[in-house]
Amino acid sequence: MKTLAVYNIKGGVGKTTATVNLAYEASRSGARVLVWDLDPQSAATFYFRVAAHIEGGGKRLVRGKTDLAGQIRGTDFPNLELLPADFSYRHMDRVLGQGDAPRDRLRELLRPLAKRYDCVLFDCPPSISLVSESVFAAADALLVPLIPTTLSLRTLNQLSAFRDERPHLRDLRVLPFLSMVDRRKRLHRDVLERLAARRSDFLHTHIPYASEAEKMGLHRAPIGSYARRSPAAAAFEQLWDEIQQQLYEPAPLPNGSVPEVTTPAGRPCVICACPLAAGPRGLQCPNCGYAEEG
Amino acid sequence: MSTRLEYQLEAGQPDQLAARLGEIGHLRACGRQRVERTWFDTFDWRLYRRGQVLEQDTSGPSSAVRWRRLVDGGLEAAFANTVPRFARELRPGPLRERLLALIDARALLPAASVRCEQTTYALENSEQKTVARIRTEVAHTPGGPVHRLAVEPVPGYPEPVARVRDLLEQELSLPPAGEDLFYLAVGATGRQPGDYQSRLQVELDPQMAAGAAARRVLGLLLEKVLANLDGARQDIDIEFLHDLRTAVRRSRSALRQFRGVLHPHLAEHLGEALRWVGTVTTPVRDLDVHQVEFEQVWPSYEPELFAAMRPVGALLVTERERERQKLVRHLGSRRFAEVLDLWRRLLNQADPPASLAPRAGEPIGRLAARRIRKLHRRMRRDGRAIGPETPDEAVHDLRKLGKKLRYTIEMFQSLYPRQMVKPALAGLKQLQDCLGRFNDLTVQQADFRTWAGHFSQQPGTAGTLLAMGQMIERLRHEQRAVRAAFQRHFGDFDRPVVRRRLAALGRPPGNS
């Protein structure tokens, strides 16, 4: 199960639109998807026509007193499910702070769902808070929508700095992409050109500013379900493809023509060539049991 | 996870039903269409064996695929596309990973098809939110039209589904659908789901005469060869040839274990003939293994190294095609037909006189125990003699011996309680994996040297030659590591607990 968080410190950049549409495209591509709407404004919940309500509120959910799986609702689309928002999520920072190891809490809550879903998408509220830190600790990657303006791009630097200062977030990938791009605006065109020349860390697909996106509130559904052939739907489909490639293509091994004597995790087992995984005795082959003592 | 409800309908019933279901919530008609439904699985039913099916509905240019569980109809995945031939053809992502984990390199083949007319509805609540999906359909099976209604619950909305269930079961007394359409459709093709598996499963009784047991084993192995022949000729996927070769190897091993049981001249001729089959099928299989490495392992090497190795990947493709054409000729040759004739003649022959086959009447339980005992003893003796300085040939010989022991145990496993066989084989597996990898590394180094000869004749291939040198160095390095690991694996195999498990199989079943 991959956990992705659609996140930006800034509000109004298209986070919820991205969450709902990426989740829809992910489920269309054959993934089993859960959206967790963490924003007390509950816009993603509204788009999926689900009541914004958690039995017992967010506090009992976070403390593990409400069965999380029992709160999940199916959407109108196969294999796309939602853990709805609740207005009490506005106090989630405080609730997390009252418990032990608050940063690990969301990851712990998701653990039992690992076999049920291929992908969990968090729709996060803006700002940096304990909730966002808990999201960062649970996520494999942050998907960061950015409007092509100077102020918006500045928030990416703030986010990167925040991650770099925390060693436990070293493996967290940040995948920024441009959202609400209006090519009629000179500033947007300029930013696009500059980014193409200077930044290789951005996803190549950008989401156009589109009236179809604004109609999501009317249809209460992802764009692809009512405007399949629109440029916005095509952009979200392409963006999901790109994200999948980033997350699932094997990363090349570090340079060096001769392999090291010990076999780090992920490298092939010396017996059966299966990738080794961390086990109780050190690195172990899940196929033949070959173990490198740790 | 939600469970799909399915009911039998009668012709004309769906329209009346729609009105009744509308009393529970708003029933929105989503569409009516004619579809060609096709179920896909691998030749050895890898999805079915895990209780799953892959069904594709095609209507004109559009198609949709559902990957679902047979037991409860729950969806594993749904995607708007056609079923790929191979899982590796899918884009990187969770669907590809999950399907690859189940079917690996096997092709997805159509198992059966039916024409269906279907109408789909969404049962909606006051927010126009779908709370259940409903489908009525007529499937035109060879046995006649089958009318069905399926209700797919939406997680989190149990009440409307409970009311639908009450209506259909209590008020309208609709009978449950019974067998999944998948079984009806596949059954109509003359096949049965799960009718082929790679594993050799032969039922023997300890008191059975060895001659009859030998014919049963070799008969099943011939069936495996014949089942895989067309797939290997047509190159549907690489596992057809692999299974064919495995059946041939097992047969050669069986002929050796049944010496003194079968007609000696026929058995010897068949053994030689099967050796020829093994030889002519080896080049394609070796190239298949290399191609799998090229596709799955090599991309994880450094980008520069992988790029420099691309010409080798291209060479593999052309070499394989050349060898495959030769293989098709061999498998269609008179000589191959004669091998099959000889095999059938051996199976159809009654027990030869005792002077030719003195052990034909011996109870198979006793013979099996003796063979396992001897092979295990040899394996321990030869393995203990291997030290750090022993030439590699001894390691290769031990691999062959281990394979014989495994094949013999598997061939005779029905003679023993299951709880005795599985742990015994598990004790052997790790050592065999180690020995197998050692052998693969030897073959791969030799192949790289051969290919290097090919590239050295061509201009502009210095980068590729250097990369091949690096690859050989990697393989040698890995081989040294495997050789160093051998002592530990053999030590594990030679532990008292594993010895006892294997020794137990060396006592005639029923006498332990």
Q: Which residues of B touch A252 (CB under 8 A)?
A: 299-303, 306
Q: Rounded mean pLDDT of B399-417?
A: 95
Query: What are the structure tokens assigned to B146, written together?
Result: 């089958």
The pLDDT assigned to A160 comes to: 86
By Cβ distance, the residue of A30, A253, A289 closest to B300 is: A253
Query: What are the structure tokens assigned to B40, written together?
Result: 């896909």
Of A220-229, B222-231, B299-308, B486-495, which range is least confident?
B299-308
Alpha carbon distance B72, B3 (integer Å): 5
In chain B, the residue whose alpha carbon lies closest to the alpha carbon of A259 is B474
In chain A, the residue whose alpha carbon lies closest to the alpha carbon of B429 is A288
Query: Residues of B numbered 425-484 whose beta carbons fall under 8 angstroms of chain A's beta carbons: which are they?
Result: 429-430, 433-434, 436-437, 470, 473-474, 477-478, 481-482
Residue ranges per structural domain of chain A? 2-248, 255-294
Superfamily, domain A2-248:
P-loop containing nucleotide triphosphate hydrolases (3.40.50.300)
Q: Which residues of A touch B487 (CB under 8 A)?
A: none
Specify which residues B133 forms β-bridges with.
B122, B152
Q: How many CA atoms lie within 13 A of A107 on its CB side?
A: 14
What backbone phi and psi angles, to 5 degrees, belong to A231?
A: -60, -35
Alpha carbon distance B338, B238 (integer Å): 25
Q: Rounded mean pLDDT of B99-113?
A: 95
Task: State the pLDDT confidence band at A279, using cuts at 50, 70 and 90.
Answer: low
Residue A264 has pLDDT above 60, yes or no: no
Residue A252 has pLDDT above 60, yes or no: no
Cα dihedral value B13, B19, B24, B30, nearest 10: 90
In chain A, the residue whose alpha carbon lies closest to the alpha carbon of B125 is A49
Taken in order B181, B184, B189, B193, the sign of the CA dihedral is positive
Sequence-ordered list of residues with C-beta below 8 angstroms from that of B434, at least 6 positions apart, any chain: A271, A288, A290, B482, B485, B486, B489
Structure confidence by residue, pLDDT tens digits, B185-218:
999 999 999 999 988 989 999 999 999 999 999 9
Would you call B481 and A73 a contact, using CB atoms and an 8 Å cutoff? no
Would you call A288 and B434 a contact, using CB atoms and an 8 Å cutoff? yes
Query: What are the structure tokens assigned to B294, written together?
Result: 């090229």
Contact predicate B8/B153, CB 8 Å: no
Alpha carbon distance B170, A66 (integer Å): 34
- Shortest alpha-carbon distance between residue B469 and chain A (Å): 10
The pLDDT assigned to A194 comes to: 81
The three-state secondary structure class of B56 is strand
Long-range contacts of B314-323 (CB under 8 A, 24+ apart): B315/B451, B315/B454, B315/B455, B316/B287, B316/B290, B316/B291, B317/B291, B319/B287, B320/B284, B320/B287, B320/B288, B320/B291, B323/B283, B323/B284, B323/B287
Query: Among candidates A20, A88, A96, A94, which has minimal Cα distance to A62?
Result: A96
How high is the mean pLDDT of chain A?
Answer: 84
Taken in order B485, B486, B488, B489, the sign of the CA dihedral is positive
- For the ranges A47-61, B133-147, B227-241, B435-449, the one whose mean pLDDT is highest: B227-241
Would you call B94 and A81 a contact, using CB atoms and an 8 Å cutoff? no
Q: Which of B91, B151, B159 to mutate to test the interface with A (most CBs of A within 10 A)?
A: B91
In chain B the domains, ranked by start, together with CATH numbers, are 5-188 (2.40.320.10), 198-362 (1.40.20.10), 365-512 (1.40.20.10)
Q: What is the DSSP letter of A215?
A: T
The pLDDT assigned to B319 comes to: 92
- Shortest alpha-carbon distance between residue A50 and chain B (Å): 7
Of A192-201, B23-32, B449-458, which range is least confident?
A192-201
B209 Cβ under 8 Å from any chain A Cβ: no
Enclosing H/E stretch for B445: helix B418-456
Structure confidence by residue, pLDDT tens digits, B51-68:
999 999 999 888 999 999
What backbone phi and psi angles, to 5 degrees, belong to A111?
A: -50, -45
Alpha carbon distance B132, B157 (integer Å): 8
B1 Cβ under 8 Å from any chain A Cβ: yes
Q: Which residues of B touch A287 (CB under 8 A)?
A: 433
**Amino acid type, B132:** A
By Cβ distance, the residue of A73, A250, A257 closest to B300 is: A250
